[in-house]
């Protein structure tokens, strides 16, 4: 019975989140039990390019060193990964796996570039924060629950996590990098094209749509903030920036009349 429930839960995880979550469970456990050597899993500039260990940028995303000191932090990462990545993929990106995968690839690539030159060995922390940041921006006014019964808008959650880790002595550097990368994606995808009227600077490559085509769905949760109307847009229904006028459909008639 428990096995069936676990199987149903696992198969209910959205596709891209499932891949990410599975890798983030399997690889750290393999390293924890000594089945693979963790020395070959973290991000290292010299080993990656001079010794052609090109798998390191990928394994650095999934691997996290589990120990009695880091175990609780690792479980928190898994919780945030599963919770907010699932909500984002089944909400704003529902039916668009290619677009969600591109967001993950974009955030990961930015963190790899930062990590190679800033001696950032593991990418799990900032990657989770980057996805959480995007979810919080798309659900700014949603009330979230945090520890000790505190409640506040989702907009402030990334900064609360930063402050929490800073107080606990972790420094909060990983959180800041995740917030920076998440904001970069959000700005280029939503803020700059909509609020500033600029062109779309990044977009999902067509080959990802061929591999992961869109599926038709009824709808989802979470939406980008509405675009600001342009001052030079004419007030005409045929213009894309116009506000549609309400239509008078008539009062109708009763069936017995």
- Domains of the chain, by residue range, sit at 68-196
For residue 256 the two structure tokens come to 């017995």
DSSP code per residue over the chain: -HHHHHHHHHHHS-HHHHHHHHHHHHHHHHHHTTSS-GGGTS--HIIIIIS--TTHHHHHHH-----TTTHHHHHHHHHHHHHHHHHHHHTTTTT-HHHHHHHHHHHHHHHHHHHHHHT----HHHHHHHHHHHHHHHTTT-EEE-GGG-EEEGGGHHHHHHHHHHHHTS-SHHHHHHHHHHHHHHIIIIIIIIIS-PPP-----HHHHHHS-----S--S--PPPPPPPTT--S-TTSTTSPPPPP-------TT-
CA dihedral in degrees (207, 105, 54, 17; nearest 10)?
Answer: -100
Q: Give residue-wise pLDDT tens across range 91-127.
A: 999 999 999 999 999 999 999 999 988 888 999 999 9
**C-alpha span between 227 and 210 (Å, rounded):** 29
The model carries a pTM of 0.81
**C-alpha span between 128 and 81 (Å, rounded):** 6
Does the pLDDT at position 32 exceed 50? yes
Q: What are phi and psi of 159, to 5 degrees?
A: -75, -30
Q: If you average pLDDT over residues 13-20, what whole number do you get?
A: 96
Range from 152-156, 167-171, 201-205 that averages highest in pLDDT: 152-156
Q: If you average pLDDT over residues 38-53, what whole number do you get?
A: 91
Does the pLDDT at position 170 exceed 70? no
**Lowest mean pLDDT across 45-54, 90-99, 186-195, 235-244:** 235-244
| Residue 239 Cα distances to 81, 194, 200, 227, 230, angstroms | 41, 16, 20, 14, 11
């Amino acid at each position: 019975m428990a096995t069936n429930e676990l199987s149903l839960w696992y198969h209910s995880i959205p596709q891209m989140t499932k891949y990410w979550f599975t890798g983030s469970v399997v690889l750290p456990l393999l390293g924890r039990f000594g089945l693979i050597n963790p020395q070959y899993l973290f991000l290292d500039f010299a080993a990656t390019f001079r010794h052609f260990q090109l798998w390191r940028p990928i394994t650095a995303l999934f691997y996290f060193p589990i120990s009695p000191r880091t175990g609780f932090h690792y479980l928190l990462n898994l919780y945030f990964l599963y919770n907010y990545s699932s909500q984002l993929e089944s909400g704003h990106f529902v039916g668009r796996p290619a677009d969600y995968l591109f967001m993950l690839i974009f955030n990961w690539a930015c963190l790899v570039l930062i990590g190679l030159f800033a001696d950032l060995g593991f990418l799990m922390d900032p990657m989770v924060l980057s996805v959480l940041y995007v979810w919080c921006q798309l659900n700014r006014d949603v009330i979230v629950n945090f520890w000790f019964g505190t409640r506040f808008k989702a907009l402030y959650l990334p900064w609360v996590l930063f402050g929490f880790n800073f107080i606990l002595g972790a420094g909060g550097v990983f959180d800041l990098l995740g917030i920076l990368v998440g904001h970069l994606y959000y700005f280029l995808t939503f803020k700059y094209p909509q609020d500033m009227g600029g062109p779309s600077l990044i977009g999902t490559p067509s080959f990802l749509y061929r591999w992961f085509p869109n599926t038709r769905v009824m709808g989802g949760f979470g939406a980008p903030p509405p675009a600001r109307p342009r001052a030079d847009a004419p007030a005409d229904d045929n213009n894309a920036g116009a506000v549609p006028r309400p239509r008078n459909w008539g009062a109708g008639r009763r069936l017995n009349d």
